[in-house]
Amino acid sequence: MRLKFASRPATTKLMPSRLIINADDFGLTKGINRSIASLHSAGVLTSATLMATGAAFEDAVQTARQTPSLGVGCHVVLTDGVPASDPAKIPSLIGADGRSFRPSLLSFVQALLRGQISEADIEREAEAQIERLQLAGLSITHADTHKHTHLFPQVTRPLLKVLQRGGIRAIRNPFESAITQKLTHAGLKRRTQIRILNQLRPAFERHTALREGAIVTTHGALGVSATGNLNPATLAEIIRTIPAEGDFELVCHPGYNDADLARVATRLRDHREVEMEALLSVIPAALAQPNPPRLIHFGNLAATDYGLSS
């Protein structure tokens, strides 16, 4: 099973590739929110995924309302954060403190692979987070997950159920595109990890909602292996590799490294401002080249005839 284009009339010209530039961690701090609004205004960011329990959630909602052309998705958090649900109703997701999720991706994955996490709990919590955004009056274009936990089928299955019930038509393809796996901007350890995790991609593509087009996605993610190293040179290299046709998402984490960011747990601090600089310098130059990718958000993706097909 693979991603491919739907059939087109013989007279149709080759469509240019399309690129979603999505900032994760919307709502984590006001500095990240301000960065997202500024980058979108500059025409170098099209989408952001909002954390329902982020410390700056209300500020992010206000930013989204003031920026209606920005695509806003839900950044579903299942590790390294606090739940939107009553912890007592999602016990298999809760860590040792009885209030928060497990603090690390490793502890979450270990519990998931041991069968200690209930898919019903994932479904309940994902629905609570998405509903919080919808109750705030936001139109949700798509969903993805913090730390890309929906790489695993045990997370994708319940998340797709929630999206279908909520009328949300798109989800991040969390698998690094082959075109950027070959680049040298990530260390050997990072590239090896991604190569191993990409073995889960066929299972992702077999999900009925994706295969039948009820939920749509891209042909792959760009920049996952470059997380923490998305500087201008790396971003320019990634943009140069985008094929002439297809839909892709550039995953990024811009923001201001301020006092609010110092108070939250994140490994991305100084580099968030480096990513801002990269987007502002590289994307305009790329769009000025012949036949550049067309910038869209996930809401535009759902309206296309591209999708998963066997």
CA distance 37 to 267: 22
CA distance 62 to 203: 38
Residue 262's identity, in one-letter code, is A
Q: What is the pLDDT of residues 67-111, one digit of tens each?
A: 999 999 999 999 999 999 999 999 999 999 999 999 999 999 999
Per-residue pLDDT of the chain (310 residues; tens, 9 = 90+): 333 333 333 334 567 899 999 999 999 999 999 999 999 999 999 999 999 999 999 999 999 999 999 999 999 999 999 999 999 999 999 999 999 999 999 999 999 999 999 999 999 999 999 999 999 999 999 999 999 999 999 999 999 999 999 999 999 999 987 776 666 666 666 667 777 888 999 999 999 999 999 999 999 999 888 888 899 999 999 999 898 889 999 999 999 998 888 888 777 778 899 999 999 999 999 999 998 999 999 999 876 544 433 2
Query: What is the 3-class SS of the chain, one letter each residue?
Result: CEEECCCCCCCCCCCCCEEEEEEEEECCCHHHHHHHHHHHHCCCCCEEEECCCCCCHHHHHHHHHHCCCCEEEEEECCCCCCCCCCHHHCHHHECCCCCCECCCHHHHHHHHHCCCCCHHHHHHHHHHHHHHHHHCCCCCCCEEEHHHHHHCHHHHHHHHHHHHHHCCCEECCCCECHHHHCCCCCCHHHHHHHHHHHHHHHHHHHCHHHHCCCCECCCCEECCCCCCCCCHHHHHHHHHHCCCCCEEEEEECCCCCCHHHHCCCCCCCHHHHHHHHHHHHHHHHHHCCCCCCEEECHHHHCCCCCEEEC
CB-hemisphere CA count at 13 Å for 12?
A: 8
CA distance 47 to 135: 20
Residue 235's identity, in one-letter code, is L
The per-residue pLDDT for 85 is 98
pTM value is 0.91
Residues in the chain: 310
Q: What is the pLDDT of residues 112-134, one digit of tens each?
A: 999 999 999 999 999 999 999 99
Q: Which CATH number does 2-309 carry?
A: 3.20.20.370
Cβ neighbour number for residue 198 with a 10 Å cutoff: 18
Which has the closest alpha carbon to 72: 134, 128, 10, 15? 134
30-41 and 270-287 helices cross at what angle (nearest 10)?
A: 10
Cβ neighbour number for residue 179 with a 10 Å cutoff: 17
CA distance 55 to 29: 6
Whose tokens are 């073995």? That residue is 199
